[in-house]
């Protein structure tokens, strides 16, 4: 492998459809880490929604598209612990009895990483050049934490940012209540979980809430917005890349006058 690894960015559905800035931030960080980044056009979803709903047939079909799209790259990196875990942990399970796709799924799993863990654990990044004048609290998303062991890596890079103060919230490692299809199937339970989470966010008295999964971030941002809380929400990649010039998640993109009409 060359000193400039060829990295395929798995953009993820949520970043593509709701928050493209996360993808651009990931590209910036990967290039700063000395990688040549490409975004395969054939990529779609990782297949997790179908897989978690028990639809293994459709999950396999989607996974086969991803396996083909990401062949030939040194690494595959996703700005999402849940999507990275799907490929790294569950593709091998999905194709365990398949003599053709099984080895291809296993091989892809060895090359797949979540963004921040790739930057720190694989590329050895210890600092970022971005700065942030304010306080930040970090939410540990379930898949990243429990399936990939991501906890200290983002905190290490956040701590390297000039001006940033990290404020740990209580129960930062407890689920926010999103859980993909869980939030749809068990809406009342999900709402109670995210209410507890936003309470801890408020108690931390941080200016900004960050995490590594857009599903969690959109869930928490929506609840904070409905509760009238002041804490802003961003993906950790946006903050680490210094790309905080656009509205935070859940904030209106219009002019101040337009925003005032929407808010009230």
State pLDDT tens for residues 54-109. Answer: 999 999 999 999 999 999 999 999 999 999 999 999 999 999 999 999 999 999 99
pLDDT tens digits along 105-163: 999 999 999 999 999 999 999 999 999 999 999 999 999 999 999 999 999 999 999 99
CA atoms within 13 A on the CB side of 54: 1
Domain residues for the domain of 221 are: 128-240
Q: Please tell me whether residues 227 and 134 are part of one structural domain.
A: yes
Residue 264 lies in a domain: no
Chain position carrying tokens 């337009």: 258
Q: Whole-angstrom Cα distance, residue 189 to residue 205?
A: 25
Q: Please tell me whether residues 95 and 160 are part of one structural domain.
A: no
Please give the pLDDT value at position 108.
98
Chain position carrying tokens 């910036």: 28
- Average pLDDT for 243-256: 81
CATH number, residue 199: 3.40.50.11810
Choose the final residue of a domain: 100, 121, 142. 121
Please give the pLDDT value at position 252.
77
Q: Whole-angstrom Cα distance, residue 10 to residue 72?
A: 14
Minimum mean pLDDT among 97-101, 126-130, 243-247, 256-260: which range?
256-260
Residue 144 lies in a domain: yes
State the pTM of this model: 0.92
Q: How many domains does the chain have?
A: 2
Q: How many H helices and E strands in the chain? A: 16, 8
The residues, any chain, with a CB within 8 Å of residue 133's CB and separated by 6 or more, are 163, 164
């Amino acid at each position: 492998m060359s000193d400039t690894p060829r990295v395929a960015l798995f953009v993820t559905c949520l970043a593509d459809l709701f928050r493209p800035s996360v993808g651009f931030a990931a590209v910036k960080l990967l290039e700063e880490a000395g990688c040549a980044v490409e975004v395969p056009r054939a990529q779609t979803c990782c297949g997790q929604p179908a897989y978690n709903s028990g639809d293994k047939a459709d999950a396999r079909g989607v996974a086969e598209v991803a396996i083909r799209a990401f062949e030939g790259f040194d690494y595959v990196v996703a700005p999402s612990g849940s999507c990275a875990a799907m490929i790294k942990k569950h593709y091998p399970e999905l194709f365990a009895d398949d003599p053709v796709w099984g080895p291809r799924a296993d091989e892809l799993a060895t090359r797949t990483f979540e963004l921040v863990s790739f930057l720190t654990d694989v590329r050895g990044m210890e600092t970022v050049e971005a700065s942030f004048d304010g306080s930040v609290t970090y939410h540990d998303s379930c898949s990243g934490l429990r399936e990939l062991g991501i906890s200290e890596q983002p905190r290490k890079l956040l701590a390297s940012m000039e001006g940033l103060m990290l404020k740990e919230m209580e129960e930062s490692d407890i689920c926010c209540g999103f859980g993909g299809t869980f939030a749809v199937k068990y809406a009342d339970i999900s709402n109670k979980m995210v209410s507890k989470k936003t309470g801890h966010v408020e108690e931390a008295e941080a200016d900004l809430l960050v995490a590594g999964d857009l599903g969690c971030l959109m869930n928490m941002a929506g609840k904070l917005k409905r509760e009238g809380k002041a804490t802003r929400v961003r993906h950790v990649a946006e903050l680490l890349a210094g790309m905080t010039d656009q509205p935070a998640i859940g904030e209106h993109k219009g002019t101040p006058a337009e925003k005032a009409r929407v808010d009230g």
